Amino acid sequence: VIVSAILKGKGNAVVTARPTESLQAISKLLVKHRIGAVIVCEPAGPPLGILSERDIVNAVAAFGAPGLDRPASEAMTRDLLTCEPGNSVDELMTIMTNSRVRHLPVVEQGQLLGIVSIGDVVKCKLDEASAEVGLLRDYVMAGR
Ligand SMILES: NC(=O)c1ccc[n+]([C@@H]2O[C@H](COP(=O)([O-])OP(=O)(O)OC[C@H]3O[C@@H](n4cnc5c(N)ncnc54)[C@H](O)[C@@H]3O)[C@@H](O)[C@H]2O)c1
């Protein structure tokens, strides 16, 4: 299975925030959309970074509650690890495990096409495994 198949299922929409938005405002955005990370960019601009729940926890650990007033630009990860629509789900698992990240924006030729989370990858592997079990069961039954 490749990334474009996952996007076909979940869509291309990406929740984004501007670099000047506060961590407090972004916390509300994460809760509203029931997600763990936003891509940081200017409207219609290229991705500048990613800001996850972990970045918010780090800011609170370092600065206490006032950390929530800091802007996204000061808490986000700028070195974006990305994937492409043609990458396999196994490749994503390797990147996520080795780099300890849970979200990979899907980017092709500088264009943001979607986002894939570790939950999307796990769901895909579970679907794959249960399809395989079904096939094996049919095979065994046919031979009886
Ligand atoms: N059953 C499913 O289809 C499915 C898929 C993914 C996650 N989940 C569940 O959601 C929970 C949390 O998942 P998670 O830790 O992988 O991450 P998450 O909460 O950030 O992601 C949840 C879903 O939102 C999407 N998403 C995340 N950030 C987004 C953004 N900025 N813009 C657009 N979409 C975005 C993800 O791709 C994923 O489909 C877990 O309990 C997981 O099992 C379920």
* Tens place of pLDDT per residue across the chain (144 aa): 899 999 999 999 999 999 999 999 999 999 999 999 999 999 988 899 999 999 999 999 999 999 999 999 999 999 999 999 999 999 999 999 999 999 999 999 989 999 999 999 999 999 999 988 999 999 998 987
Q: Are 27 and 65 in contact (CB under 8 A)?
A: no
What is residue 81's predicted lDDT score, i.e. its pLDDT? 96
Q: What is the pTM of this model?
A: 0.91
Q: Select from 6, 35, 55, 107 the residue to mutate for testing ligand 1; criterion: most ligand atoms less than 8 Å from CB.
A: 35
Q: Is the CB of 36 under 6 A from ligand 1?
A: yes
Q: Select from 21, 26, 48, 120 the residue to mutate for testing ligand 1; criterion: most ligand atoms less than 8 Å from CB.
A: 120
What is residue 115's predicted lDDT score, i.e. its pLDDT? 98
What is residue 2's predicted lDDT score, i.e. its pLDDT? 95
What is residue 40's predicted lDDT score, i.e. its pLDDT? 97
Angle, helix 3-10 to helix 89-99, in steps of 10 degrees: 90
What is residue 131's predicted lDDT score, i.e. its pLDDT? 87
What is residue 50's predicted lDDT score, i.e. its pLDDT? 98
Place of tokens 């095979």: 139
Angle, helix 53-63 to helix 23-33, in steps of 10 degrees: 150
Q: Work out which ligand 1 atom sits closest to the CA atom of 34.
A: 19
Q: Are 84 and 106 in contact (CB under 8 A)?
A: yes
